[in-house]
Amino acid sequence: MKYVIGVDLGTSAVKLLLVNQNGDVCNEVSKSYPLIIEKSGYSEQDPEEWVEKTTAGLAELLDVFDGDVNDIEGISFSGQMHGLVLVDQESQVVRNAILWNDTRTTAQCQEIYDVVGKQRLLEITKNPALEGFTLPKILWVKKHEPEFFERASMFMLPKDYLRYRITGNIHMEYSDAAGTLLLNVAKREWSKEILDLFDLSDSFCPPLVESHAFVGTVTKEISEKTGLTEATKVFAGGADNACGAIGSGILTEGKTLCSIGTSGVVLSYEEKNDLDFEGKVHYFNHSEENAYYTMGVTLAAGYSLSWFKDTFAKQEEFDQFLAGVDEVDPGSNGLLFTPYIVGERTPHADSTIRGSFIGIDASHERKHFARSVLEGITFSLNESIEVFRSSGKTIDSIISIGGGAKNETWLQMQADIFNAKVEKLTSEQGPGMGAAMLAAYGSGWYPSLKECAKVFIQTSKTYHPIKENVETYEKLFKIYQQVYTQTKELNEQLKEFRK
Residues 6+ apart with CB under 8 A from 120: none
- What average pLDDT does this structure show over 111-119? 97
Report the b/e string of 109-125 with b at 16+ CB within 10 A.
bebbeeebeeeebbebb
Q: Would you state the pLDDT for residue 274?
A: 74
Predicted confidence band of residue 399 (pLDDT cuts 50, 70, 90): very high
* Cis status, amide bond into 146, omega within 30 of 0: no
pLDDT, tens digit (0-9, with 9 covering 90-100), for 224-262? 999 999 999 999 999 999 999 999 999 988 789 999 988
Q: Would you state the pLDDT for residue 402?
A: 87
Is there a contact between 228 and 68 (Cβ–Cβ < 8 Å)? no
Q: Would you state the pLDDT for residue 422?
A: 97
Question: Strand, helix or coil at 85?
Answer: strand
275 pLDDT more than 80: no
Residues 6+ apart with CB under 8 A from 119: none
Question: Strand, helix or coil at 215?
Answer: strand
Measured CA to CA in angstroms, residue 477 lies from 119, 200, 418, 425 at distances of 30, 45, 10, 27
278 pLDDT more than 80: no
pLDDT, tens digit (0-9, with 9 covering 90-100), for 217-226? 999 999 999 9
Q: Return d(Cα 141, Cα 155) in angstroms, integer.
A: 12
Structural domains in the chain, sorted by start: 3-241 (3.30.420.40), 248-428+466-499 (3.30.420.40)
Residues 6+ apart with CB under 8 A from 117: none
Residue 214 exposed, middle or buried by CB count within 10 Å (0-12, 13-18, 19+): middle
- What average pLDDT does this structure show over 184-202? 97
Predicted confidence band of residue 279 (pLDDT cuts 50, 70, 90): confident
Q: Would you state the pLDDT for residue 491?
A: 95
117 pLDDT more than 90: yes
- Strands (DSSP E) contained in 10-127 are 13-20, 25-32, 44-45, 72-79, 85-87, 97-98
41 pLDDT more than 90: no
Predicted confidence band of residue 411 (pLDDT cuts 50, 70, 90): very high
Predicted confidence band of residue 403 (pLDDT cuts 50, 70, 90): confident
240 catalytic per annotation? yes
Q: Would you state the pLDDT for residue 6?
A: 98
Q: Return d(Cα 354, Cα 359) in angstroms, integer.
A: 16
Determine which one of 160, 176, 240, 416 is catalytic. 240
**DSSP string over 259-325:** EESSSEEEEEEES-S----TTSSEEEE-SSTT-EEEEEEETTSHHHHHHHHHHH-TTS-HHHHHTTG
- What average pLDDT does this structure show over 467-485? 98
276 pLDDT more than 80: no
Q: What are the backbone dihedrals phi and psi of residue 403, each rounded to the nearest 5 degrees, phi first?
A: -60, -30
Q: Would you state the pLDDT for residue 36?
A: 93
Is there a contact between 279 and 303 (Cβ–Cβ < 8 Å)? no
Is there a contact between 49 and 87 (Cβ–Cβ < 8 Å)? no
pLDDT, tens digit (0-9, with 9 covering 90-100), for 58-105? 999 999 999 999 999 999 999 999 999 999 999 999 999 999 989 899
Residue 161 exposed, middle or buried by CB count within 10 Å (0-12, 13-18, 19+): buried
Predicted confidence band of residue 271 (pLDDT cuts 50, 70, 90): confident
Closest CA to 296 of 378, 384, 377: 384
Radius of gyration (Cα) for the chain, nearest Å?
22
Predicted confidence band of residue 427 (pLDDT cuts 50, 70, 90): confident
307 pLDDT more than 90: yes
Q: pTM of the predicted model, to two decimals?
A: 0.88
